[in-house]
Amino acid sequence: MQVYAGLASPRASDLTMGGDGVRPVHGVRTRMDSPRTRGRSAPWLPLLALTLIAASSPLAAQEAEPLSVDAWGVPVRPVVAIGEIVGINVFTWSMNYYVRDEDFAVVYPKTWWNNISNGFEYDGNLFATNMIDHPYHGSTYFNASRSNGIGFWGSVPLTLAGSLMWECCGERHPMAFNDVVNTTLGGIALGEALYRSSSTVLSNEATGAGRAGREIAGFFMNPLRGFNRIVSGRMFSVASNPADPNDRTPDYFRFSLDAGYRGVNPDSETRDDVTGGFFRFRMDFGSPFDGRRRGAFDVFEFDMTMYAGDQNVFGALAVRGNLLTRDLKRGGSSEHVWAIVQSHEYDDNSAYQFGDQNIGLRVESLWKLGAASSVVTRIQGGAILFGTLDSALQPAGDLPSSWNLRPFDYTTGLDGRIEAEAHLGRFVGGATWRSSWMTSVNHNSLNGGSADHWVHQGRLSANFRIGRSLGLGGDFRVWLRNSNYSIGLFEDVQETVPEIRIFGTWVIVPGRDGASPTVF
């Protein structure tokens, strides 16, 4: 559990009523091996970090003349990347220990060994902590590697290593399996999306005020990359841009903003209606039908939504990237590709909480109907490697007073979806259906016991373009849920949540019509 001031805060829904009043969510790790003793325990983590860095210095010396550079001319320096990952963990620990004065930050060799010998558990962090904070922290590990010249696949094990180091040695809580999975898989997806996004604004050849603006924007989009550009001097020097333009901006690139009204009307007595606004940011990076790039995240979509009038402002985030893309058919009136897709998804609103780390096989087709008309379809099936779903527990009677129920289930399962989007001149219409089967992996009565969940999500959308960059649109969405609990103390749950959105669209970068769908 990394701690970030201001990113996630407890809500009333994160506390549950036991027999004698409000209790903390079960699983929040507060066990202490001994009272806090600053003088004896505080130096151990920095000493560990210094030892690791010192031990790597001979290797760093050997890297003085690196054997290769990346597309941006950055030397490949794995030892520097490892040192930065250690530094990230030391900095986070220091904030917890010295600034936040947290007991769980008292660590020393005995707590490290206790964590290693006791193995993993599932913790009770807040939903947003699991699905936003941890993936963002993982993205800093990933970009410490990427911004030191290491490629996508080479950065994966370093991200995992950073997460394991934190779970073992950064806090005295037992190591949490859910933290490692979300930090690593979510960090990879979010980290590469941020790396590619920052590449679209950076330019080694720019000068003057334009260069300053690009570097500032790139720093805020990807702080680890910005840090390394500062310390290496690349932020201030003029050099060649990547030889392949796709290392900056792909052949297809679409960037749009939606803003408007959102209404949600759950059929459950335990859920509140919502009426408010929303702001949606959408980026489509690359297309499987344009260009020749077929590597990891040469094609991805980044979709973020902010809510007004709901329980959270930061309501939804989805990053879906192709790890591999291959042609099935090229040319003619239709084109078809298949791809392996990694997804990190998060949706947190008053009607439901849903998040997952997903990998699937997708078949995507482009059907050409005319000069200004086309249809894009996607069929995808895969596995929910690790998911999180609000438990929506409805007790059938009195519960033992000792039970402190966590308000969500950790799950694994299967997932399938079908999407279609038609581009007919100025009109764009789409339809999506997704079904997910999720089974709990926290088989513990204190968390609701074993449970099976079916979740279905549907969407119909329409948008009419006004001029080149503006449009008016609407969505109708529905969330359907059927949850069955093995413990007789809890009733099964069936929910229907309809939602409507009416909005305006500003397409800042238009891309190419028909080249990439803009649904789910």
Q: Over 60: is that where the pLDDT of 415 sits?
A: yes
334 pLDDT above the threshold of 90: yes
Distance separating alpha carbons of residues 477 and 431, to the nearest angstrom: 10
Mapped onto helix, strand or coil, the DSSP state of residue 40 is helix
Flag whether pLDDT at 12 surpasses 70.
no
Give the pLDDT of residue 291.
66
Task: State pLDDT tens for residues 115-140.
Answer: 999 999 888 788 899 999 999 999 99
Q: Rounded CA gap, 75 and 66, in Å? A: 6
β pairing state of 120-121 and 175-176: parallel
DSSP 8-state class, residue 174 = P
Residue 1: burial class (beta carbons within 10 Å; 0-12, 13-18, 19+):
buried
Side-chain half-sphere exposure of 185, counting CA atoms within 13 A: 24
CA distances from 146 to 84, 233, 270, 300, 359 (A): 11, 17, 45, 17, 22
Residue 476 pLDDT class (50, 70, 90 cuts): very high
Domains, the chain, ordered by start: 12-245 (no CATH), 259-509 (2.40.160)
Q: Where does residue 231 rank: exposed (0-12), middle (13-18), buried (19+ CB within 10 A)?
A: exposed
What's the pLDDT score for residue 252?
87
pLDDT of amino acid 467: 85
- The pLDDT assigned to 341 comes to 97
Element (H, E) at 221: helix 208-221
Q: Which pLDDT belongs to residue 221?
A: 95
CA distance 281 to 510: 14
Residue where the block lists tokens 């099936």: 381
Identify the band that residue 486 occupies on the pLDDT scale cut at 50, 70 and 90: confident
pLDDT score, position 218 = 95
Q: How many CB atoms lie within 10 A of CB 484?
A: 14
Q: Could you tell me which residues come within 8 angstroms of residue 483 by beta carbon, excluding any fewer than 6 positions away?
A: 391, 392, 451, 452, 453, 454, 492, 493, 494
How many CA atoms within 13 Å lie on the side-chain side of 150? 21
What's the mean pLDDT in 150-161?
97
- For the cut 70, the answer to whether the pLDDT of residue 460 exceeds it is yes
Dist. CA 183–CA 187, nearest whole Å: 5
DSSP labels, 240-306: PPPSSGGGTS-SSEEEEEEEEEEEE--S-TTS--EEEEEEEEEEEE-BTTBSS--STTSSEEEEEEE
221-260 tens-digit pLDDT: 999 999 999 999 999 999 999 998 889 988 888 999 999 9
At residue 123, the pLDDT reads: 84
Mean pLDDT, residues 210-219:
95
What is the distance between the alpha carbons of residues 328 and 156, in angstroms, rounded to a whole number? 28
- Over 80: is that where the pLDDT of 386 sits? yes
| pLDDT, position 216 | 96
- pLDDT, mean over the chain: 84
Distance CA 151, CA 196 (A): 12
Residue 10 has pLDDT above 50, yes or no: no
> What percent helix, strand, coil does the chain show, rounded to 5?
30, 40, 30
Residue 106 banded pLDDT, cuts 50, 70, 90: very high
Element spanning 320, H or E: strand 314-329
Judging by DSSP bridges, how do beta strands 451-466 and 427-440 pair with one another?
A: antiparallel
Confidence of residue 271 (pLDDT cuts 50, 70, 90): confident
> Among residues of the chain, what percentage have pLDDT more than 90?
66
- What is the C-alpha separation between 145 and 33, in angstroms, rounded? 35
> Over the range 331-369, which residues count as b (16 or more CB within 10 Å of their CB) and which as e?
eeeebbbbbbbbbbbbbbbbbbbbbbbbebebebbbbee
Over the range 266-276, which residues count as b (16 or more CB within 10 Å of their CB) and which as e? bebeebeebee
Is the pLDDT at 30 greater than 60? The verdict is no
Asked if 152 and 294 count as a contact pair (C-beta separation under 8 A), the reply is no
The neighbour count for residue 47, using CB atoms within 10 Å, is 11
Query: Which pLDDT value is given to residue 510?
Result: 73
Q: Grade residue 448 by pLDDT with cuts at 50, 70 and 90.
A: low
Residue 314 CB neighbours (<10 A): 15
Would you tell me how many other CB atoms lie within 10 Å of the CB of residue 245?
Answer: 11
Question: Measured in Å, how far apart are the chain's first and last C-alpha atoms?
Answer: 30
Residue 62 has pLDDT above 50, yes or no: no
Question: What confidence category does residue 96 fall into, taking pLDDT thresholds of 50, 70 and 90?
Answer: very high
| Range name among 140-144, 327-331, 490-494 with the lowest pLDDT average | 490-494
- In this prediction, residues 28-32 reach a mean pLDDT of 34
Structure tokens that stand for 182 in this block: 């979300």
Pick the closest to residue 321 from 491, 186, 149 (CA basis).
186
Phi-psi region of 209 (alpha: psi -120 to 50; beta: other; left: phi over 0): alpha
3-class DSSP string for 115-168? HHHHCEECCCCCHHHHHHHHHHHHHHHHHHHHCCCCCHHHHHHHHHHHHHHHHH
Q: Determine which of 29-33, 71-75, 278-282, 431-435 has the lowest per-residue pLDDT on average.
A: 29-33
**Cα–Cα distance measured from residue 382 to residue 339, given in angstroms and rounded to the nearest whole number:** 12
- State how beta strands 300-308 and 314-329 pair: antiparallel
DSSP secondary structure letters along 86-108: HHHHHHHHHIIIIIS--GGG---
Please determine, for residue 34, whether its predicted confidence score (pLDDT) is greater than 70.
no
